[in-house]
Structure 1
Amino acid sequence: MSRFQVVSGKGGTGKTTVAAALALALATAGKRTLLVEVEGRQGIAQLFETAPLPYEERKIAVAPGGGEVFALAIDPELALLDYLQMFYKLGGAGRALRKLGAIDFATTIAPGLRDVLLTGKTCEAVRRKDKAGRYAYDHVVMDAPPTGRITRFLGVNEEVAGLAKVGPIHHQAQAVMRTLKSRDTAVHLVSLLEEMPVQETVDGITELRAAKLPVGRVMVNMVRPEVLDEAALRRVRETPPRAALAKSLSAAGLGGARRGGGAERLVTPLLEQAGEYAERFALESGQREVLAGLDLPLHELPFLAGGLDLAGLYRLAKILRKQGVA
């Protein structure tokens, strides 16, 4: 696995959940993982059942085997102050600009600037080393913007480097793009087995490849278990076994001794549900074939019927480890 994992996906596919589970999965055997949030929703804090994250790297979980997961919610205003201090040594002057509202004004009117700050701050964490020359984090996982704008988000520094021909901003933008286009980075896309998320995943991969950004894996989230095998599905589609089903229901004590139809009254609604399941199963199978045709590693995470809590997050991380992501 690359050191920098970018997780994107269509809204509603659960990309934040997958990013969090991936960070836990990678924090094995004593490794340190940083999970970065860039959209200001505090989704990571909710998943790990902790207080809202400040603009600092904070440990939020311990993985099996002693690994640690840290989290960072990047604030564009504070990130810009970091940049002003780093490149121009403004210090107090930068803080004064913030009090006057200039920092908020700059990050609001220039969305591209926000993206530069978010990607730059994250890539700094990817490249950071301690005094012994070891990386501060074994892996950095970013809960990135949705698929529809991920390519523009990651490629904004290339535009900046082209606009600023010389100087610290030019060199910083180039450094960020070198990280994003290197083998240290992989962009994963989260999808569901539904037509719109799958199509957006296909389109997103096409755009990422055209921009020469490294595509990693496809994560299919919220996969429902198979209820009927192929033989049962075939019987439902061809000749529904009404009599046999009624007999089985009666044998199980479900209305067999009641007058007015008894078990027979349960057959029609059950077959309707089976038909709906067969239709959905066919749709999901077709979408799975589309994703398999992308020729990328494909992972599936189950739908958690009881809802997602911290224990469920650890369960998803364990599944990812078993599927070879760590």
Structure 2
Amino acid sequence: MGDWEGVRLHVVTGKGGTGKTTVASALALALAGGGRKVLLAEVEERQGLAQLFDVAPLTYAERRIAPASGGGEVYGLAIDAREAMYEYLAMFYRLGRAGRALDRVGFVDFATTIAPGLRDVLLTGKTYEAARRKDARGELVYDAVVLDAPPTGRITRFLDVNTSVSSLARVGPIHRQANSITTLVHSPLTAVHVVALLEEMPVQETVDAVAELRAAKIPLGAVIVNQVREAHLAGRERTAARSGKLDRDMIAEGLKAAALPFSNVLVDQLCTEAAGHARRLESERRARQELAALDRPMYTLPRVPGGIDPTAVYEFAETLTEQGAS
């Protein structure tokens, strides 16, 4: 049993550049393990999921994009505000094709421009519908939904849609839809996971986002530390490297033992690199302490030189599973 038993909606956010799309994809694969069916959705119109899994661009129609361990399946969906509006008009106003006709006179652009909160209602509304959808037998279609959400700077406003539309509509379908979404988002069925790097700005944005989410009473999930580099120095060697006091003779002996060319210039370069590595490790240690102080489950994923491919995403899914994410 993983850390998130009972959670149906997993929202993944993080500062731009932290790899939240990669993490969301790995989490979806982890949750789908053991024969489960998971929907992985994106809302930023970047087609990041299609690129990551090397599949054709995603559309508003859900389709299978990856198998998971144990016979599980991950489905993909690109939530588009325009298509969501058409569906919304058909569901609540029974306009059918007339909804698309309205778009020819710029209705969708007009509506989402004068009421920016409406766009978030449309995007989160589709996620809400997928998370609670049942089949003909009355069983849930998806065991979980993973949302590759907007960055940390916008995540609380994006999820707290009832506040966004309170001045737009106090009654009617829009109001009811926003209330339903808000109920789900603030319930134990939801968990917001924040992706961070062990660097100053991503850590600070993570701390700020966690504080905002807590203030909004939106359930927090894990802090997922991405792109963690391997430590090549420990103990006394790390202390000596940081202070510029590494044993030069030992380095020279190591070069000779490895049959590598030796020179004082090379030893100087290695000492300089070791000092930088040691200082970075110390900085990362402090960053990790700040994240640990948030008192949330913390998972770590390694840095992969050369970029991320589908194989790496599957490896990340296994790592998350081992750490208790599913």
Amino acid aligned to 1:177: T
Matches within 5 A, 1:115-130: 115-130=120-135
| Contact kept in structure 2, 1:250 and 1:263, CA below 8 Å | no
CA contact (8 A) 2:60 2:77 kept: yes
Q: Is this contact kept in 1: 2:24–2:146, CA < 8 A?
A: yes
Q: Relative to structure 2, which stretch is displaced further, 144-153 or 101-110?
A: 101-110
Map 1:238-249; keep pairs closer than 5 Å: 238=243, 239-249=245-255
1:319 equivalenced with 2:319 (yes/no): yes
- Number of matched residues? 320
Larger Rg: 1
Aligned partner of 2:172 among 167, 174, 180: 167
Assess if the C-alpha contact under 8 Å between 2:228 and 2:301 holds in 1.
Answer: yes
Q: SS of the counterpart of 1:65? A: helix
Q: Alpha-carbon deviation of 1:236?
A: 1.9
Report the secondary structure of 2:161's partner residue. helix
| 1:264 maps onto 2:299 in alignment | no
Q: Which residue of 1 aligns with 2:297?
A: 297
Among 97, 108, 111, the alignment partner of 1:106 is: 111
1:58-99 Cα distance to aligned partner (Å, 9 max, x none): 100000110000011011011011111111111132121022
Q: Secondary structure at the match of 1:226?
A: coil
TM-score normalised by structure 2 residue count: 0.95
- Give the C-alpha shift of residue 104 in structure 1: 2.8
Contact 1:3 1:140 in 2 (8 A): yes
Q: Which moved more, 1:169-178 or 1:32-41?
A: 169-178
Label 1:90 to 1:237 Cα distance change in 2 as closer, same or farther (>3 A).
closer
- Aligned pairs for 1:6-45 (under 5 A) are 6-45=11-50
8 Å Cα contact 1:161/1:171 also seen in 2: no
Q: What SS does the aligned partner of 2:160 have?
A: helix
Write the distance in 2 (CA, Å) between the matches of 1:41 and 1:248.
48
Whether 1:309 aligns to 2:309 is yes
Look up the equivalent residue of 2:139 and give its one-letter code.
R
Q: Quote the offset at 1:183 in angstroms.
A: 0.6
Q: How much does 1:161 deviate?
A: 4.8
Deviation, structure 1 residue 162: 6.3
Give per-residue Cα distances to partners, 1:260-310, cap 9 Å, x unaligned.
xx4333210000000000010000000000001110000000001132111
Task: For residue 168 of structure 1, give the secondary structure of its aligned residue in structure 2.
Answer: helix
**Counterpart in 2 of 1:285?**
285
Quote the offset at 1:242 in angstroms: 1.1
Q: Verify: 1:215 aligned to 2:220, yes or no.
A: yes
Kept in 2: contact 1:8–1:146 (CA 8 A): yes
Pick the aligned partner of 2:138 from 127, 133, 138.
133
* Structure 2 residue matching 1:5: 3-state secondary structure: strand
1:167 CA displacement: 2.1
Report if aligned partners of 1:31, 1:68 keep a CA contact under 8 Å in 2.
Answer: yes
CA distance in 2, matches of 1:19, 1:143: 6
The SS at the match of 2:70 is coil
Once the two structures are TM-superposed, the CA of residue 232 in structure 1 deviates from its matched residue by 1.5
- Aligned residue for 2:188, secondary structure, equals coil
SS in 1 for 2:313: helix
Counterpart contact for 1:161–1:169, Cα < 8 Å:
no
Counterpart position of 1:259 = none
The 5 Å alignment of 1:173-192 reads: 173-192=178-197
Structure 1 residue 156 corresponds to structure 2 residue 161: yes
Q: Percent identity?
A: 57
SS of alignment partner, residue 69 of structure 2: coil
Q: Conserved in 2, the CA contact under 8 Å of 1:36 and 1:143?
A: yes
Instruction: Quote the RMSD (CA, aligned, Å).
Output: 1.3
Change (3 A) 1:111 1:168: closer
